[in-house]
Amino acid sequence: MENIIKVKNLTFEYTSDEHTHRAIDDFNLNINEGEFVAIIGHNGSGKSTLSKNLNAILIPTQGDIVIDGMNTKEEKYLWDIRQTAGMVFQNPDNQIVATIVEEDVAFGCENLGVEPLEIRERVDSALKNVGMYELRERPPHLLSGGQKQRVAIAGIIAMRPKCIIFDEATAMLDPSGRQEVMNTIKRLNKEYNITVLMITHFMEEAVEADRVIVMEKGKKILEGKPREVFSHIDELKKIGLDVPYMTELSQLLNKDGIKIRTDILTVDEMVGELCQLK
């Protein structure tokens, strides 16, 4: 199967008059259609620079990015790339452009030149997908952070992307808003096979992914299934990252002589393990 996202030896440098700053350093990544990949890494590790390269907001200094067969260096593909790989950013307020929810969701499709009747259909279905159909006539400023972010996601899915990149899209939300958005993302991935690349600093979100990638100083330093990656507790802590609470707790309990697995990721798994103790 063809990879929907291919990053080949990507190096990206920001240049100003005085100096050059290498934000991504020879980075490689392939993502299959339908995959759910999480990227973690602390501030300044290059995550946003990577996501902007994937969306042709930035163009590689060296190397190539190919989105569904389209190289981001070829200008003629710009809009197709942005329609194939939609982006959801951190601050919902910067992404909402209209004064009514459904008009906001229609905006991207209008720019793509989709027929009005088709837009109506897509907007309604996208709003239903994110659970915002009932609030379609509201002004966005009356919504909660989580609801606004779901409207932003609806605007992207109305454009029928194969892939959505979330750049810390839950960072400004309260825990319940985060849960709403996370549930929406998981559903889009599982039910509609939309490829998800999720940049996050919440480990509880990363454990939901099929694959986790850890970035540090523009490089990939760890990659694997969540259970594999999060078993490297010391390494993650050394670079200033958290580990999932339950993984840490499972290791602490073990040190205290409570013999349970040490690679537990979720509360459910923890409960399961503790219930088996004699």
Torsion of CA 87, 91, 93, 97, to 10 degrees: -20
Q: How far apart are the C-alpha atoms of 99 and 215, rounded to whole Å?
A: 38
Question: Tokens 């659970």 belong to which residue?
Answer: 131
Rounded CA separation 50/63 (Å): 12
Q: In terms of CB distance, is 162 or 220 closer to Mg ion?
A: 220
Q: Which residues in 56-210 belong to E strands, given as ranges?
A: 62-67, 70-71, 85-88, 163-167, 195-199
Q: Which region among 20-28, 44-52, 182-190, 256-264 touches Mg ion (by CB under 5 A)?
A: 44-52
The reply to whether 20 sits near ligand ADP by the rule CB under 6 A is no
Q: Which two tokens stand for residue 232?
A: 């490297």
Nearer to ligand ADP, 47 or 162 (CB): 47
Amino acid letter, 110: E
Minimum distance of Mg ion from residue 7's CB (angstroms): 17
Q: CB of 89: closest distance to Mg ion in angstroms? A: 9
65 or 143: CB nearest ligand ADP: 65
Task: Determine which residue in the list 23, 31, 154, 164 makes contact with ligand ADP, applying CB under 6 A.
Answer: 23
Nearest-approach distance from CB 48 to Mg ion, in angstroms? 3
Does position 48 bind Mg ion by CB under 5 A? yes
Selected binder of ligand ADP within 4, 10, 35, 45 (CB under 6 A):
45
Q: Does 175 bind ligand ADP (CB under 6 A)?
A: no
Q: How far is CA 84 from CA 66, 98, 156, 195, in A?
A: 11, 23, 10, 10
Q: Is 45 in the site for Mg ion (CB under 5 A)?
A: no
Applying CB under 6 A, among 1, 17, 43, 278 the residue interacting with ligand ADP is 43
H-run or E-run covering 206 = helix 203-206
Binding region for Mg ion (CB under 5 A): 47-48
